[in-house]
């Protein structure tokens, strides 16, 4: 049996403030730290020995993975960081309070920006303070390749090729993998793994700091079982798809 764990970062500073975060790099709150440590303890109880970890370029996901691996006494495993696992870029909404944005633009419009599959938010200009090119961690990337406002569809188009080229080979080799990422980059993975439709995928939520343990048939992406380890904070999961022959 191959194990894949998906964990959304613990509560972040802007989660707590109800602000659109996206690519902006914010830290964990004290509650987020607790969630990350608890995630590691829950993983330790499962007795899974991980072979490799993956995370984004964003500190809230990186620190969540560090704290979880430390609590699980697996701090030694190799970890790969890549910006393709970053959160969806919220464009010109970045930094705005979600309720204030609803008051200004209306609930329906904000719902479309947040929960439609293929409607992106307003784009950031290149000279905006939150444009990724202003952040040193992206200095090696052509600014024209960096997102300035993504729909969930665009996020999937960024995340899934990375998953297929860099992570899937480990799963095919029956390695146990842990991925610490973000609500929307994890939705992209859920869409692939559970074969969720474009219409349905925006409705699935990842609770912060609660590991989703997925058991796969060795050498395949056929899901044998899937469950959040913290039952009290679990969210609904898609139905497990029928096994595929390839």
Mind telling me the catalytic residues? Answer: 9, 87
Question: CB 43: neighbour CB atoms within 10 A?
Answer: 24
* Cα gap 206→181, rounded to integer Å: 10
User: Half-sphere exposure of 208 toward its Cβ, with a 13 Å CA cutoff?
Assistant: 21
CA distances from 190 to 36, 57, 197, 211, 226 (A): 20, 20, 10, 13, 11
CA distances from 231 to 42, 86, 213, 234 (A): 11, 26, 12, 5
CA distances from 153 to 67, 119, 120, 199, 210 (A): 31, 8, 9, 11, 24
Contact partners, residue 115, CB within 8 Å, separation at least 6: 202, 203
For residue 151, list its beta bridge partners.
none
For residue 80, list its beta bridge partners.
54
- 210: exposed, middle or buried (Cβ count in 10 Å: 0-12, 13-18, 19+): buried
Contact partners, residue 109, CB within 8 Å, separation at least 6: none
């Amino acid at each position: 049996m191959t194990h894949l764990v998906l964990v959304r970062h613990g509560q972040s500073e802007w989660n707590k403030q109800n602000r659109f975060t996206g690519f902006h790099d914010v830290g964990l709150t004290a509650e987020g730290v607790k969630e990350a440590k608890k995630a590691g303890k829950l993983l330790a109880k499962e007795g899974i020995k991980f072979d490799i970890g993956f995370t984004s370029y964003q500190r809230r996901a990186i620190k969540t993975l560090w704290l979880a691996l430390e609590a699980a006494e697996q701090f030694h495993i190799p970890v790969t960081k890549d910006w393709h696992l970053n959160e969806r870029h919220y464009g010109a909404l970045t930094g705005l309070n979600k309720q204030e944005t609803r008051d200004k633009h209306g609930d329906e419009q904000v719902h479309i920006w947040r929960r439609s599959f293929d409607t992106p938010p307003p784009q950031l200009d290149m000279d905006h303070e939150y444009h990724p090119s202003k952040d040193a961690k992206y200095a090696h990337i052509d600014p024209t390749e960096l997102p300035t406002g993504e729909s969930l569809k665009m996020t999937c188009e960024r995340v899934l090729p990375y998953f297929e080229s860099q992570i899937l080979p480990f799963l095919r080799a029956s390695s146990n993998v842990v991925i610490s990422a973000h609500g929307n980059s994890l939705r992209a993975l859920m869409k692939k793994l559970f074969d969720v439709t474009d219409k349905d995928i925006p409705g699935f939520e990842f609770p912060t700091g609660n590991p989703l343990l997925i058991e796969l048939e060795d050498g395949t992406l056929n899901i044998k079982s899937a469950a959040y380890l913290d039952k009290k904070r679990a969210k609904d999961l898609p139905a497990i798809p029928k096994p595929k022959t390839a």
